[in-house]
């Protein structure tokens, strides 16, 4: 009854352009942010860090990245796993070659390297569209993973072929390596996610975002209006890859700590992130978070209930999860292509009118 | 008819343009010009090459022969988005709106060539990017008022009825504040009332903003009413060129439209 | 001839054989794409599913036995000693037809007029779903599939080729797997049957009409939905053939579905709408990746087959986006 726009008049374009135009939303977001930054670090333990918070945060970042490319610019990519690998290996090389380099800078640089690689593999998008492009991005997936497997320079000639995150400190506190306290790794990731989610929102609601969506919705009309396809597509590829690269770097440095490319960055990861944005909502930053949380936590929950609760064999549960995931993808594409984010919006729409829907 | 036309100043000139796809000739040795401030109609039966002509003008097709002069300069082979920057905007025969975006965003996209905030400004939003956004929002709101589409400002255009979509598409082209506006059958599929509205808008655009307009239209009544000069195409060739009255009384044009043969 | 030269020929021959296998999978893609404009990512999983079902019937497994045991604590697994190959194949075909009908009913019907890329993503969902169903139904363990196709190296060919070497060299002859030769033969047969079917039967003509123009086909009274069921059934049968060949070669398990990924670059090379394209594309990829691995592979650490096909397709796309046999696309406004 109190959640509504009426009475909350916008008197300037600045107010009308806010990310959260409704007062209650702004209050809600402020409370969540305060809780995430000020309360969670005191409550967090190892289990919550490794099994829930870190992966959800990192996958959200990857999902935002892919959503920029696929949801906003309409270019489907199946190379997410490969680009995450670029971010991970770049961060490994930076942090081992320059041990003194600040971790924030290491992660940002890794994103930059991934953005370059993204541009390179985005070049074909200028000539090909749709699933032709999706197939072309598979080239990056398989080639990159193979490269990190076969070229010893990337893994510093280690005997196992693995890469391990060395311990690095920020302000005297370990953020990577086995001794990093859960609250530190959590805050490190949270900072990246919040800052870059905000940046993504800013980019998508402005001139860049509109040029991407124009290309997505009607590329010929976009070009005739003055959007250069080259610039729009490559900027989407590079920014998207930047995000995915950062996600890859965090995934390796902070979350896993040790990585073997085929295992950690296989094609299944590309599909996982794609599913996150389909279920969360194509073309929605909020949807990227919802989708990442849903796709990561849903299988964990089902496993907990069926394997730990009812004692089923993990094998069968894994197949059941495959079925559920596949079914959900089809369900969402048929029923609600804008994903959970849209369901959330519809619910808010209803709430806004409640209790007088007519 | 209007007093905006400057007889002596030519905005766009097409010289001996020929275009073919494989063996099919879409345009053959076409020449005509568009004067500053006029409403120029391009008419002809189906398949006459009218849309191809527009596609050549905004750089979507590249003619094998001929020249295009715009604003007194010879235009070299250009991509459509470069042509847009020169100041040519257009609407499409089959509506080509950005369906996933709101009316407002469609119109804001129309101003793309006039916005310049760089990536970092965009990332931060607060500052230059926001100032620019507001400045252009004001311009777009003027167009929204002009076209009387205030109520659908935030509606995704995919959900709008046909007539409204046509109007939004005109709005998007207007938002570019171009020198030359190309309209490809702006009134196709409309009922009488909608057509009258659209005619009014076209004339108002021409008079109030002084925009030069080239339009393709099938409704002869409309063409004769609103255009200063008419060029007639048939099977990729130019059949006639002149004032509506001249064209109306031209033997060949009558034959082409009524299908009389002179064998 | 020097042994080096003969080795190269052997690599090419084996590449051709592998290429035939890729073509078999690509064929299923092309059929569905031509008739419905759908890029069916699930084609590979369909091959896996068909092969699993075939083995299940052959050996007399009870479907969903694992799941039932898990829920009810029972100990069921087989209902009998299994059945004759031919009956098992016929039953599997029936299952694939039923599957086609279900897909149309439950998925495609609701996605008519959606953008191709949405349909593509839906078939990725379908692939995951079917993989789960297949594994739950028949179990995920590695199964051997034997329908009586001879396999193993051909001694006759080894003996023949041994004599080709020039004097003074030592050479042991070429290796060629009989199964591959059979696969090539069956592929040729399959393409011939499909061509005859589409040229000389009423259904075949309807299929081609739909492929040419959906709208026009509808106006002359062809039911699009029954066409889709037929096409997905045929693709299911093609998947079964591919499943049998690949399954006989390397066993039936999850990795079988990954051949779909190998078929994608084949399609890019051959064009999405051309059956000859699928064949030629498959052969080029097969030979190309084997030759590349043979000549360049050792220099860069091997396993180049993982990516060679994609990178080749990528370069190809840059220069001829419509594929070898596809038609040039003229964009209209």
Residue at a domain's end among B175, B205, B220: B175
Residues of chain A numbered 266-305 and touching chain B (CB < 8 Å): 283
Q: What is the pLDDT of residue B263?
A: 46
CB atoms closer than 10 angstroms to residue A293: 20
Q: Identify from C115, C328, C333 which residue to disrupt to test chain B contact, counting B C-beta atoms within 10 A and taking the largest count.
A: C333
Q: Is residue C36 part of a domain?
A: yes
Is the distance from CB of B257 to CB of B70 less than 8 angstroms? no
Q: Are residues B72 and B183 in the same domain?
A: yes
Q: Is residue B12 part of a domain?
A: yes
Q: Is residue C330 part of a domain?
A: no
Find the CATH number of the domain harbouring B83: 3.40.50.300
- Determine contact: A225 vs chain B, CB below 8 A: yes
Residue at a domain's end among B134, B156, B175: B175
| A77: Cβ contacts below 8 Å, ≥ 6 apart | A66, A69, A70, A133, A134, A137, A240, A270, A274
Q: In the Cβ-directed half-sphere of B188, how many Cα atoms lie within 13 Å?
A: 13
Q: Is residue B214 part of a domain?
A: yes
User: For residue A335, what pLDDT band results from cuts at 50, 70 and 90?
Assistant: confident
Q: Is residue C204 part of a domain?
A: yes
Q: Are residues B70 and B36 in the same domain?
A: yes
Angle value at C-alpha C27, between C228 and C308, nearest 5 degrees: 135
Give the residue among B30, B27, B32, B26 at the shortest CA–CA distance from B12: B32
The Cα B238–Cα B54 span in angstroms is: 14
Give the residue among A208, A232, A207 at the shortest CA–CA distance from A219: A232
If you count them, how many residues does chain C have? Answer: 333
Q: Is residue B95 part of a domain?
A: no
Q: Are residues B186 and B162 in the same domain?
A: no
Residue at a domain's end among B159, B175, B191: B175
C-chain residues within 8 Å CB-CB of A151?
301
Q: Are residues B48 and B156 in the same domain?
A: no
Q: Is residue B245 part of a domain?
A: yes
Q: Are residues B52 and B39 in the same domain?
A: yes
Neighbours of chain A (3+ CB pairs under 8 A): B, C
Judged by average pLDDT, the poorest of A313-317, B235-239, C119-123, C258-262 is C258-262
- Helix, strand or coil, per DSSP, at residue A219: helix
- Is pLDDT of A137 > 70? yes
Q: What is the pLDDT of residue A299?
A: 93
B-chain residues within 8 Å CB-CB of C333?
51, 55, 60, 92-93, 96, 184
Q: Cβ-count burial of C163 within 10 angstroms (0-12 exposed, 13-18 middle, 19+ buried)? A: exposed
Q: Are residues B71 and B109 in the same domain?
A: no
Give the residue numbers spanning the domain of B232.
Answer: 1-87+178-263
- Is pLDDT of C237 > 50? yes
Neighbours of chain B (3+ CB pairs under 8 A): A, C
The Cα A300–Cα A315 span in angstroms is: 14
Question: How many domains is chain C built from?
Answer: 1
- Dump pLDDT digits (tens) for A293-317: 999 999 999 999 998 888 888 888 9
- Dump pLDDT digits (tens) for A200-244: 999 999 999 999 999 999 989 999 999 999 999 999 999 999 999
Question: How many domains is chain B built from?
Answer: 2
The beta strands (E) that lie in chain B are given as 10-21, 24-35, 39-43, 65-70, 73-75, 88-90, 180-184, 212-216, 229-234, 237-242
Is the distance from CB of B130 to CB of A17 less than 8 angstroms? yes
Q: Are residues B129 and B184 in the same domain?
A: no
Q: Is residue C332 part of a domain?
A: no
- Dump pLDDT digits (tens) for C21-37: 888 888 888 888 887 77
Q: Are residues B159 and B191 in the same domain?
A: no
Q: Is residue B144 part of a domain?
A: yes
- Dump pLDDT digits (tens) for B15-34: 999 999 877 888 999 999 99
The Cα B216–Cα B5 span in angstroms is: 19
Q: Do C333 and B51 touch (CB under 8 A)?
A: yes
- Dump pLDDT digits (tens) for C83-138: 888 899 999 999 999 999 999 889 888 887 777 888 888 999 999 999 999 988 88
């Amino acid at each position: 009854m109190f959640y509504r726009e009426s009475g909350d008049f916008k008197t300037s374009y600045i107010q009308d352009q806010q990310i959260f135009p409704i007062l209650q939303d702004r209050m809600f977001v402020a409370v969540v942010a305060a809780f995430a930054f000020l309360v969670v670090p005191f409550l967090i333990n190892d289990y919550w860090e490794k099994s829930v918070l870190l992966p959800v945060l990192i996958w959200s970042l990857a999902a935002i990245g892919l959503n920029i490319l696929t949801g906003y610019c309409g270019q489907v990519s199946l190379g997410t796993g490969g680009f995450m690998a670029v971010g991970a290996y770049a961060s490994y090389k930076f942090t081992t070659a320059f041990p003194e380099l600040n971790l924030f800078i290491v992660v940002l640089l890794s994103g930059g390297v991934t953005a370059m690689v993204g541009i390179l593999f985005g070049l074909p998008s200028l000539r090909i569209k749709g699933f032709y492009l999706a197939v072309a991005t598979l080239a990056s997936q398989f080639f990159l993973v193979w490269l990190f497997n076969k070229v010893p320079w990337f893994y510093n000639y280690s005997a196992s072929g693995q890469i391990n995150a060395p311990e690095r400190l920020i302000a005297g506190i370990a953020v990577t390596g086995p001794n990093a306290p859960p609250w530190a790794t959590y805050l490190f990731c949270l900072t990246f996610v919040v800052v870059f989610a905000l940046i993504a929102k800013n980019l998508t609601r402005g001139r860049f975002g509109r040029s991407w969506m124009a290309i997505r919705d009607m590329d010929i009309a976009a070009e005739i209006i003055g959007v250069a396809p080259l610039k729009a597509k490559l900027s989407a590829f590079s920014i998207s890859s930047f995000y995915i690269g950062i996600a890859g770097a965090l995934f390796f440095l902070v979350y896993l700590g040790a990585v073997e490319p085929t295992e950690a960055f296989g094609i299944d990861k590309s599909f996982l992130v794609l599913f996150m944005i389909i279920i969360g909502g194509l073309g929605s930053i909020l949807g990227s978070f919802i989708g990442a949380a849903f796709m990561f936590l849903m299988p964990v929950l089902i496993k907990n209930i069926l394997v730990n609760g009812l004692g089923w064999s993990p094998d069968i549960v894994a197949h059941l999860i495959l079925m559920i995931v596949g079914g959900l993808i089809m369900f969402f594409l048929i029923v609600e292509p804008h994903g959970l984010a849209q369901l959330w919006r519809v619910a808010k729409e209803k709430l806004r009118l409640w209790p007088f829907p007519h | 008819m209007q007093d905006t036309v400057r007889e002596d100043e030519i905005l766009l000139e097409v010289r001996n343009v020929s275009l073919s796809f494989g063996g099919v000739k879409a345009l053959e040795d076409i020449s005509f010009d568009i004067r500053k401030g006029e409403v120029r109609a391009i008419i002809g039966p189906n398949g006459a090459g009218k849309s191809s002509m527009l596609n050549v003008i905004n750089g979507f097709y590249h003619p094998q022969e001929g020249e295009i002069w715009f604003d007194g300069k010879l235009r070299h082979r250009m991509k459509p988005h470069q042509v847009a920057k020169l100041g040519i905007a257009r609407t499409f025969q089959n509506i080509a709106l950005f369906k996933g975006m709101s009316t407002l965003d469609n119109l804001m996209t129309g101003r793309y060539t006039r916005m310049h905030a760089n990536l970092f400004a965009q990332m931060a939003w607060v500052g230059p990017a926001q100032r620019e956004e507001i400045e252009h929002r004001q311009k777009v709101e003027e167009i929204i008022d002009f076209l009387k589409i205030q109520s659908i400002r935030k509606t995704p255009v995919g959900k709008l009825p046909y007539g409204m979509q046509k109007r939004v598409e005109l709005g998007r082209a207007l938002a570019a504040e171009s020198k030359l506006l190309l309209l490809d059958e702006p009134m196709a599929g409309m009922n009488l009332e909608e057509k009258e509205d659209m005619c009014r808008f076209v004339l108002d655009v021409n008079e109030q903003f002084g925009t030069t307009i080239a339009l393709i239209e099938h409704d002869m009544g409309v063409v004769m009413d609103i255009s200063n000069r008419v060029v007639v195409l048939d099977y990729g060739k130019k059949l006639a060129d002149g004032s509506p009255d001249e064209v109306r009384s031209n033997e060949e044009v009558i034959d082409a439209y009524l299908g009389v043969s002179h064998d | 001839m020097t042994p080096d030269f003969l080795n190269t020929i052997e690599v090419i021959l084996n590449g051709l054989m592998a290429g035939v296998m890729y073509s078999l999978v690509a064929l299923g893609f092309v059929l569905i794409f031509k008739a419905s404009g759908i890029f069916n990512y699930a084609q590979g999983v369909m091959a896996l599913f068909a092969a699993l079902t075939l083995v299940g019937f052959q050996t007399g497994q009870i479907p969903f036995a694992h799941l039932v045991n898990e829920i009810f604590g029972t100990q069921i697994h087989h209902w009998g000693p299994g059945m004759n190959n031919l009956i098992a194949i016929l039953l599997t075909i029936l299952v694939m037809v039923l599957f086609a009908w279900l897909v149309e009913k439950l998925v495609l019907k609701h996605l008519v007029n959606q953008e191709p890329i949405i349909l593509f993503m839906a078939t990725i969902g379908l692939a995951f779903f079917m993989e789960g169903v297949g594994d739950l139904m028949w179990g995920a363990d590695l199964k051997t599939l034997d329908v009586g196709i001879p396999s193993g190296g051909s001694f006759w060919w080894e003996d023949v080729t041994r004599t080709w070497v020039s004097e003074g060299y030592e050479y042991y002859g070429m290796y060629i797997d009989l199964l591959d030769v059979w696969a090539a033969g069956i592929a040729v047969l399959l393409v011939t049957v499909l061509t005859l079917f589409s040229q000389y039967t009423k259904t075949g003509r309807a299929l081609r009409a739909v492929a040419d123009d959906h709208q026009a086909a509808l106006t002359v009274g062809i039911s699009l939905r029954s066409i889709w069921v037929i096409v997905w059934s045929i693709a299911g049968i093609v998947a079964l053939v591919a499943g049998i060949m690949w399954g006989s070669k390397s066993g039936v398990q999850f990795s079988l579905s990954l051949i779909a990924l190998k078929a994608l670059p084949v399609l890019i090379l051959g064009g999405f709408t051309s059956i000859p394209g699928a064949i030629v594309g498959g052969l080029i990829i097969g030979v190309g990746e084997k030759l590349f691995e043979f000549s360049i592979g050792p220099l860069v650490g091997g396993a180049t087959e993982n990516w060679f096909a994609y990178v080749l397709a990528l370069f190809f796309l840059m220069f001829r986006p419509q594929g070898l046999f596809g038609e040039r696309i003229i964009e209209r406004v």
